[in-house]
């Protein structure tokens, strides 16, 4: 048998890669990992974590205002640079934790760009190292538009190092990143305009929630322009002018494009080795995350499937157990709960009403729209929507949706109930916690 330096070399130390490396190492494999950037990948450095810190930070604009109704007074002030510095400190702390985790697990860390030389060899900064298996977990990067003036377009990465708040922000797209960052900057007083090619924001989510959220975002001051594309960006003095396909132009200081993410497969030498790539450049893998070359595997965003951190982590665990252990850990792609941390936040698990009508012979829909008690004494009249979709044939709850304060925390729990196969009768038999928004889910008639 050929001797290799390692049992596993992982290329990319983000959520999926680090989890795979740690589990493989715990299972006795000799593991190395390489990373050319900061440890933790997109999620820790320019994604979920700093974004959520910005969401918390910006939401105080509403909370402080709500506080007046409860007797508080005074004029608070906001310092963007302080938020940025504190965010940077927290991210640096997490980077260090990732380093310690790898070190404690006995995983060798190589810093630098990696390239595959053959099916068992990785070249990192000139030095070649071999492994029985190679796992690619290089994630993705924001997609850039293909329009004249595209070099003026900024992506979500730029938001995390922004020196000062812009006055006007143009956000192109109406998916996760567009709505999350649009909400953050709107709350911080930036004039936000969302330009979206579709007929409603958040394609793929339940229509009721999409419309509800659209109204709530507009009520907060976000301008939403639908069925419109940006055709060109031009520098105009200190501003940037966007030419729209409806003939209008729009002046902005910060043209943010949030139009999806592209898998990071360029420059890895994959094509030369015959690794099959999808049309958008993602590595095509089978159910065990093996590519068309048996010793080369891939998990997470680089496979261009479900682009969610917990899914990448689950895939990394599945891969490590499958090839270095004995247990049969498998990730279940059904009913993956997900949240969009816009303001108000939206969270969902299971089928939308539209999908349910397509998949079930008969459907019962329960819906409630209300003002949460917390806002009863506030000027802000943000409404919450909750929706339960039930398969009428067997009474099973097949979809839970919510847009409102605490949606992500609530839907996470309901995802467990759905995984356990809860019926509407089980929801009805559950005692609510009063007074909460969550109790609405068990009192729907």
- Rule CB under 6 A: is residue 197 a binding residue for ligand NAP? yes
Instruction: State the number of binding residues for ligand NAP (CB under 6 A).
Output: 23
- Rule CB under 6 A: is residue 405 a binding residue for ligand NAP? no
**Closest to 344 in 3D by CA, of 381, 393, 397, 317:** 381
Question: In this structure, what DSSP letter does residue 107 have?
Answer: -
Q: How far is the CB of 260 from ligand NAP (least distance, A)?
A: 4
Q: How far is the CB of 259 from ligand NAP (least distance, A)?
A: 4
Q: How far is the CB of 162 from ligand NAP (least distance, A)?
A: 17
- Rule CB under 6 A: is residue 175 a binding residue for ligand NAP? yes
- Rule CB under 6 A: is residue 174 a binding residue for ligand NAP? yes
- Rule CB under 6 A: is residue 259 a binding residue for ligand NAP? yes
Residue 287's Cβ-count burial label (10 Å; 0-12, 13-18, 19+) is exposed
Nearest residue (CB) to ligand NAP, 34 versus 313: 313
Nearest residue (CB) to ligand NAP, 279 versus 327: 279
Nearest residue (CB) to ligand NAP, 107 versus 311: 311
Question: What tokens appear for 385 in the block?
Answer: 């929507």
Chain positions 334 to 353 lying near ligand NAP, rule: CB under 6 A, are 338-341
Stretch of 98-106, 111-119, 170-178, 233-241 contacting ligand NAP, by CB under 6 A: 170-178
**What is the C-alpha separation between 172 and 142, in angstroms, rounded?**
12
- Omega prior to 437 cis, within 30 of 0: no
For ligand NAP, the binding residue among 68, 111, 203, 234 (CB under 6 A) is: 203
Which residues contact residue 238 at a Cβ distance below 8 angstroms, ignoring those fewer than 6 apart? 253
68 three-state secondary structure: helix
Which residues contact residue 205 at a Cβ distance below 8 angstroms, ignoring those fewer than 6 apart? 340, 346, 348, 352, 401
Nearest residue (CB) to ligand NAP, 203 versus 358: 203
DSSP string, 217-254: HHHTT-EEE-S--EEEEEEETTEEEEEETTS-EEEESE
For ligand NAP, the binding residue among 24, 308, 397, 398 (CB under 6 A) is: 308
Q: How far is the CB of 410 from ligand NAP (least distance, A)?
A: 15
- Rule CB under 6 A: is residue 173 a binding residue for ligand NAP? yes
Q: 405-440 as b/e, with b when 16 or more CB fall inside 10 Å?
A: bbbbebbeebbebbeeebebeebeeeeeeeeebbeb
For ligand NAP, the binding residue among 84, 177, 275, 302 (CB under 6 A) is: 177
Query: Cβ–Cβ contacts within 10 Å for residue 27, how many?
Result: 16
**What is the C-alpha separation between 378 and 62, in angstroms, rounded?**
10
- Rule CB under 6 A: is residue 404 a binding residue for ligand NAP? no
For ligand NAP, the binding residue among 120, 183, 290, 307 (CB under 6 A) is: 307
Q: How far is the CB of 312 from ligand NAP (least distance, A)?
A: 10
Is 434 a residue of the active site?
yes
Stretch of 26-34, 97-105, 192-200, 419-427 contacting ligand NAP, by CB under 6 A: 192-200
Nearest residue (CB) to ligand NAP, 174 versus 385: 174
- Rule CB under 6 A: is residue 261 a binding residue for ligand NAP? yes
Residue 341 in contact with residue 51, Cβ under 8 Å?
A: yes
**What is the C-alpha separation between 318 and 30, in angstroms, rounded?**
18
**What is the C-alpha separation between 104 and 95, in angstroms, rounded?**
14
**What is the C-alpha separation between 290 and 287, in angstroms, rounded?**
7
Stretch of 92-100, 176-184, 207-215, 347-355 contacting ligand NAP, by CB under 6 A: 176-184
Q: Which residues are catalytic?
A: 434
Positions in the binding site for ligand NAP (CB under 6 A) = 172-178, 180, 196-198, 203, 229, 258-261, 307-308, 338-341
């Amino acid at each position: 048998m050929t001797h290799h330096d390692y049992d596993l070399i992982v290329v990319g130390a983000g959520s999926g890669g680090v989890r795979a490396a740690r589990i493989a190492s715990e299972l006795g494999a000799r593991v190395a990992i390489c990373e050319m950037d900061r440890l933790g990948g997109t999620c820790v450095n320019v994604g979920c974590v700093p974004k959520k810190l910005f969401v918390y930070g910006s939401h105080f604009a509403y909370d402080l205002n709500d506080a007046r109704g409860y007797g508080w007074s005074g004029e608070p002030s906001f310092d963007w640079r302080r938020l940025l510095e504190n965010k940077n400190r927290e991210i640096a702390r997490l980077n260090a934790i990732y380093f310690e985790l790898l070190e404690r697990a006995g995983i060798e860390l190589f810093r630098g760009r990696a390239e595959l030389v053959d099916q068992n060899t990785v070249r990192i900064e000139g030095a070649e190292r071999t492994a029985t298996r190679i796992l690619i977990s290089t994630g993705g990067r924001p997609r850039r538009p293909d329009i004249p003036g595209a070099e003026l377009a900024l992506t979500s990465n730029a938001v995390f190092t922004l020196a000062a708040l812009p006055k006007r922000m143009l956000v192109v797209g109406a998916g996760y990143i567009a709505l999350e960052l649009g909400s953050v900057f709107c709350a911080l007083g930036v004039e936000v305009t969302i330009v979206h090619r579709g007929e409603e924001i958040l394609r793929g989510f339940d229509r009721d929630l999409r419309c509800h959220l659209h109204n709530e975002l507009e009520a907060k001051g976000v301008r939403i322009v639908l069925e419109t594309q940006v055709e060109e960006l031009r520098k105009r003095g200190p501003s940037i002018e966007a030419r729209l396909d409806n003939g209008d132009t729009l002046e902005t200081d910060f043209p943010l494009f949030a139009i999806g993410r592209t898998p990071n497969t360029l420059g890895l030498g994959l094509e030369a080795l015959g690794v099959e790539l999808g049309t958008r450049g993602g590595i095509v893998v089978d159910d065990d995350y093996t590519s068309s070359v048996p010793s080369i595997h891939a998990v997470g965003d680089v496979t261009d499937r479900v682009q969610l951190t917990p899914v990448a982590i689950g895939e990394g665990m599945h891969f490590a157990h499958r090839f270095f252990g004995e247990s049969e850990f498998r990730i279940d792609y059904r009913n993956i709960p997900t949240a969009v941390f816009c303001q108000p936040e939206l969270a969902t698990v299971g089928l939308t009403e539209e999908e349910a009508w397509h998949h079930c012979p008969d459907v019962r829909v329960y819906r409630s729209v209300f003002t949460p008690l917390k806002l009863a004494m506030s000027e802000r009249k943000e409404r919450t929507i909750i929706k339960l979709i039930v398969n009428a044939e067997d009474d099973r709850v097949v979809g839970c949706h919510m847009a409102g304060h605490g949606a992500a925390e609530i839907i996470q729990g309901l995802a467990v109930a759905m995984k356990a196969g809860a019926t509407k009768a089980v929801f009805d038999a559950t005692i609510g916690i009063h007074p909460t928004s969550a109790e609405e889910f068990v009192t729907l008639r």
